[in-house]
Every structure is written in structure tokens, then in C-alpha cells.
Structure 1
Amino acid sequence: MKVAAPVLETEVKGKRLINAHFGKSSLFAVVDTDSNAVEIVENPGLHVQRGRGIYIAQMFKEKGVEAVLVKEMGPGAFDKIRNGLGIKVYLVPEEVKFLDEALELFKKGELPELTEPNEEEHR
């Protein structure tokens, strides 16, 4: 299964940090949970002011992503990713800082699924 998460460029002791800002994240990690292969891809929607979720959703579709791990996701991206493509969205707890920790919780089935956006749209 392929899982994606917004990540920061910064690493701490070789561990990738999760970016709390989904749409504004410049990078996403796409992880194959079977092989543990990690591909770091640029956010294809960074060049637009609004509607980044459309570009991100398209990239996820092309990469075969089936689940997204986030700290927050706004209504636009949520609609495109979960409702439009049927990709499940899971909530990473505030205290979890690293991608590998979030993946471990996901594999154990310990991350709650988001059924609605949990970030207000910024106007």
C-alpha cells in the first residue's frame, strides 16, 4: 500500500519531520508500506495561491496513494482527496513529530480516520 504525508525538508538524526501544514508543505513523502521504500516528491500545487488540493490529489492519484497521514487538512484538499478520489485520510496526533512514528501507528491501525476537514479555510 502507498501512503503519503507532508514532510519538512529538515531531518533530525536522519528522521523526516511531518509538516503540520498540508497544502503549504513543499514536500510529500510517498511510502510503500510493503517495501518501506520512500519517495520524496515536491508539492505540485505550490505555484498557486488557492486550490493546491487539486494538484496534490492528481499527484497522489498518479503515484497510487491509498492513504494520507496528516495533522490537519482543509476543506478544499479534503474534498478532492477523500471525497473525489476515495483516498482515506488519517489524523497524526500532535505529539507525533516524525514520519516513521506516524507510519508505525498507521500500520498498527492506531490512527483515527478523518471523516471531515479539521482546518479552517484561510481567506
Structure 2
Amino acid sequence: MSIKYTKDHEWVSAEGSAATVGITVHAQDALGDVVFVDLPEVGKTFAQGEVAGVVESVKAAADVFMPVSGEITEVNEALRADPSLANTDPLAAGWFFKVKLSEPAQLDGLLDAATYDKFAAES
């Protein structure tokens, strides 16, 4: 299982044609206390880069972009019930949605952890 990152501060953990998506630690730090998440509908298909959801905090609202093309297979209902999971555990319990990848090769164009960390430190 590999974790990749986007310049929009999403992470994607993929295994085969299945992937889990969430926001990064950097994103939740910048947003502050998350108070609401708008998650996509299961069964909906998105292209890479499309807005798939919204996260709202006490400071701002931000779009959640689709890091890879695919179909939404599951959303995190626990996150919908308790949006603060995006702050307390953004890389595990605070995941946003799961995707069936339509173009797994898109993962190759995303950032690895070291590259993302450098990017986030400079942004």
C-alpha cells in the first residue's frame, strides 16, 4: 500500500484498484477546527482534479479535489457525524471517501511523502 499526496493537500492510499482519500495534516492545520464535511455520493464518478467534496472549519471552507479518477465506493459516515476526526486523525479515522480507480497510472503523477513535505513547508 502506497500513500501519495496532491498539491491541493489531499492524500490517497492505494492498494490495487482501490484507494482511500483524505486531507493531509498540513490541510487540517491550515483549516483549524473542522465543523462540517460535504462528502460525495456513493456511485458517483469523478475525473482527477474535480471537486468531490467540501470541508468547512471555523476559519474557512475548502474544496476537496479528486486526486485520481474513479468511482466513489464508500464515504466515511463517522466523519460526517463527527467532522473533528479530520483534525484528530486525518490520516486514519478521518478519511473522507474510498474510490475504485479508473486510471491507476495517475498515482504515478502524485507526490511522495518527502516531496509533499517539502512542498507543504514552502506553501
Greater relative contact order, per chain length (Cα 8 Å cut-off, separation 6+): 2
TM-score, normalisation: structure 1: 0.30
More strand by percentage:
2
TM-score, normalisation: structure 2: 0.30
